[in-house]
Structures are given as structure tokens and as C-alpha cells.
């Protein structure tokens, strides 16, 4: 049956997901389909980047104080334009914008979207995989333009989440809470086809991913856990290190092959006291995906990522995410 589904289009799968919810109005289906269009546009631009003189830096810095590169700007604008006029979204948040982003007057819909338009952007001009991450919630307010409060909802309330990775091929992975599916873009026809139905993260986990250069700044618990992964013990380990430095790419590899990714807090600077990654549009959506795939996502003090109540749009959170057995093991060190 699963084999037979392989090759169906992403829009067919999105519609099938909707049919699991008899009361659905079709708004989430419409939103996801518009997001797919944004993904295709960004994918085309990423592939053209080397040719189109779009590489390099735009000279601006974002709220995190990082240099914004031109493709980030393009990806951000592309998603905002698609979402502001799709009619299914009431307010947005993006890694690249300090404040909430309104939609066009008269186009307010039922949902909110938070996104990282192009994660891993420091890798853009060296042909390393980068990606778009998205998180969708149902609005809390009744109607009209959405507010920040509509966006500040915990991850367990997400109605859909996922990412699009621009790598050796472009792959969209998403969940609406009924399993995780992956679709590969066939650029010759401009369509995403189901290539990874019902993804489950492998039990056997060969990889760990962490920036070990910061180990001198780590908490003892992090250092002890990583030391454990290097041992051969109880039929586990030593694990191999794979760190791309592009969250979507590291996460995607671990989801498909098995693995654990960590971006823990460290003592390097006050900004790193909660790690580096952002709760709303990096940690929470990937946590929903990983849990739907049978894995786990926690903080380095043992909290479930999906249970964290956000207090601001760009808050950071220490992230431990991946195969269940390894996150269970991590938890013993972190609690």
C-alpha cells in the first residue's frame, strides 16, 4: 500500500490529510499548497544562485545581529508575499523580521505561521544544503488581524510543521499530526512527489551532531554525555560525528539515517545561555516532526520542547533532538 502511494503529488497528500478531519474547512490545505509554491520558487532561486549573481551579502544584519545574505532576503520576501495574500493566515513571524508581520487587509485567515526562511544561511555560497522551516498554529483571537499572542503558542498546539531542504535534490518533509511524509521535487515538471511515506526515525542511531568546538564552554552534563557517545558500551557506540552546521541538513540526515543533534547552552557568551536555536521557527517545528516520526526533542535540562510556552518571538532554546533511544540516554545526563 505504502509503495503504491509513492509518487503521489504533495497536493494529493495534503488533501488526504484534510480528509482525516471531516470538519476541516480546507484553509490549512490551501495554506500548505501556497507554501509548496513558495518552496518551489526558493528552490529555483537557490539552484540559480551561482549563476544569477545573487550570492554574497546584502550588508544588513537581522535581529540576531547576523549578516543577512541576499538569498535570505529573497526567501523571506517570497514566503511573506505568498502568505500575506493567501487568505489563510492572520499573522506571521520570521527569523529575519524583528516584529510580527501582518497580512494584507481583508485577507486574514484562520492560521499563524512562523518560519525560518533560509536556515543555515552561512552555507549558502559554499553549496551546502540549506532549508526553510515552518510552524503553523490555529489562531487564538476570533477574527481580524492576528497578534503576537496568536503566535506565542506552545509547540504541542501546532497543526502542521515541516521543512523544505534545498540539497542534492529539493525535499519537503511535513506533518499535520498523522505521520511524517517526504516529497522530492522533480524540477523537470515542477512537482513534489511522495518519496518518503510515513517516515520513522531509525532505532539504530549511528550519528551524533554537535559543534564540538564549543566543548570548553559546555556544561559538565553535555561533556559527559558526548564522552559517553564515544565509548563502546552495552552494544552502543562509538557513534560517528556528522556536523554540517545547517540545522535542516543535520536534522534531515538524522531523521532518515538515525542520529541525535544537539545545540546545547554554553558559557561562551550571555547570548548562548539558552543555546542558539530559536524555539518558534526552528526547535518546535522540528520537534513536532521528530515526535511524529517516533523520536524525541528535549532541552538540556530535560524539558519537552513541545511543552515550552513561548514568551517572545525570537527566544532561543537548548535543543537535543533525534532518535528516541539516544534522547532517552541524553535525558539521564541532563536531569
274-293: which residues touch ligand AHM (CB under 6 A)?
A: 276
Do 286 and 259 meet the contact criterion of CB atoms below 8 Å apart?
Answer: no
287 binds, options Mg ion, ligand AHM, none, Cβ within 5 to 8 A by partner type: none
User: 190-226: b or e for each residue (b if 16 or more CB lie within 10 Å)?
Assistant: eebbbbbbebebbeebebbbbeeebeeebbebbeebb
Running DSSP on this structure, what letter comes out for residue 280?
I
The single residue listed with the C-alpha cell 529539493 is: 170
Point out the residue whose Cβ comes nearest to Mg ion.
119
Per-residue mark of binding to ligand AHM, 8-47 (x: CB under 6 A): ----------------------------------------
Q: Which is nearer to ligand AHM, 173 or 247 (CB)?
A: 247
246 binds, options Mg ion, ligand AHM, none, Cβ within 5 to 8 A by partner type: ligand AHM
The single residue listed with the C-alpha cell 544584519 is: 61
Question: H helices of the chain, where?
Answer: 2-5, 10-19, 27-48, 70-84, 148-151, 220-229, 247-257, 284-292, 324-334
Does 66 engage in binding with ligand AHM (CB under 6 A)?
Answer: yes
For the bound state, the minimum distance from the C-beta of residue 242 to ligand AHM, rounded and expressed in Å, comes to 12
With CB under 6 A as the contact rule, which of the stretches 36-44, 151-159, 222-230, 244-252 interacts with ligand AHM? 244-252
* CB atoms inside a 10 Å sphere around CB 49: 21
For the bound state, the minimum distance from the C-beta of residue 233 to Mg ion, rounded and expressed in Å, comes to 34
Do 17 and 24 meet the contact criterion of CB atoms below 8 Å apart?
Answer: no
274 binds, options ligand AHM, Mg ion, none, Cβ within 5 to 8 A by partner type: none
With CB under 6 A as the contact rule, the residue among 68, 91, 247, 284 that binds ligand AHM is 247
Q: What cell does 112 get?
A: 499563524
Per the rule left: phi > 0, alpha: psi between -120 and 50, beta: everything else, 202 is beta
Q: Which is nearer to ligand AHM, 216 or 335 (CB)?
A: 216
User: What residue ranges bind Mg ion (CB under 5 A)?
Assistant: 116, 119
Per-residue mark of binding to ligand AHM, 88-127 (x: CB under 6 A): -------x--------------------x--xxx------
N- to C-terminal Cα distance for the chain? 42
The span from the CA of 12 to the CA of 242, in Å, is: 35
80 binds, options Mg ion, ligand AHM, none, Cβ within 5 to 8 A by partner type: none
For the bound state, the minimum distance from the C-beta of residue 297 to ligand AHM, rounded and expressed in Å, comes to 14
Residues that bind ligand AHM in the complex, under the rule CB under 6 A: 66, 95, 116, 119-121, 211, 245-247, 263, 276
Amino acid at each position: 500500500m505504502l509503495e503504491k502511494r509513492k509518487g503521489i503529488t504533495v497536493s494529493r497528500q495534503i488533501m488526504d490529510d484534510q480528509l482525516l478531519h471531516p470538519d476541516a474547512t480546507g484553509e490549512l490545505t490551501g495554506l500548505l499548497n501556497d507554501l509548496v509554491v513558495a518552496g518551489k520558487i526558493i528552490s529555483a532561486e537557490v539552484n540559480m544562485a551561482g549563476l544569477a549573481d545573487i550570492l554574497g551579502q546584502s550588508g544588513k544584519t537581522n535581529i540576531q545581529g547576523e549578516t543577512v545574505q541576499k538569498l535570505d532576503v529573497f526567501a523571506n520576501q517570497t514566503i511573506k508575499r505568498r502568505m500575506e495574500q493567501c487568505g489563510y493566515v492572520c499573522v506571521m513571524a520570521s527569523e529575519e523580521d524583528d516584529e510580527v508581520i501582518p497580512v494584507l487587509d481583508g485577507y486574514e485567515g484562520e492560521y499563524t505561521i512562523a518560519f525560518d526562511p533560509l536556515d543555515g544561511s552561512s552555507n549558502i555560497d559554499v553549496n551546502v544544503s540549506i532549508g526553510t522551516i515552518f510552524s503553523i498554529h490555529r489562531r487564538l483571537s476570533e477574527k481580524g488581524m492576528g497578534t503576537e499572542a496568536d503566535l506565542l503558542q506552545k509547540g504541542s498546539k501546532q497543526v502542521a510543521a515541516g521543512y523544505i531542504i534545498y540539497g542534492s535534490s529539493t525535499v519537503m518533509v511535513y506533518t499535520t499530526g498523522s505521520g511524517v511524509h517526504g516529497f522530492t521535487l522533480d524540477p523537470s515538471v515542477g512537482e513534489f512527489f511522495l518519496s518518503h511515506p510515513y517516515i520513522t526515525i531509525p532505532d539504530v542511531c549511528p550519528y551524533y551532531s554537535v559543534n564540538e568546538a564549543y566543548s570548553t564552554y559546555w556544561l559538565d552534563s553535555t561533556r559527559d554525555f558526548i564522552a559517553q557517545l564515544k565509548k563502546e558500551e552495552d552494544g552502543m557506540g562509538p557513534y560517528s560525528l556528522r556536523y554540517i552546521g545547517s540545522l535542516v541538513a543535520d536534522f534531515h540526515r538524522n531523521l532518515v539515517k538515525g542520529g541525535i543533534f544537539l545545540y546545547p547552552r554554553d558559557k561562551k557568551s550571555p547570548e548562548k545561555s539558552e543555546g542558539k536555536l530559536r524555539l518558534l521557527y526552528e526547535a518546535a517545528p522540528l520537534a513536532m516532526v521528530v515526535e511524529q516520526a517516533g523520536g524525541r526533542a528535549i532541552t538540556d535540562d530535560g524539558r519537552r520542547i513541545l511543552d515550552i510556552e513561548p514568551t517572545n518571538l525570537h527566544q532561543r532554546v537548548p535543543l537535543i533532538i533525534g532518535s528516541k533511544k539516544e534522547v532517552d540516554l541524553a535525558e539521564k545526563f541532563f536531569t
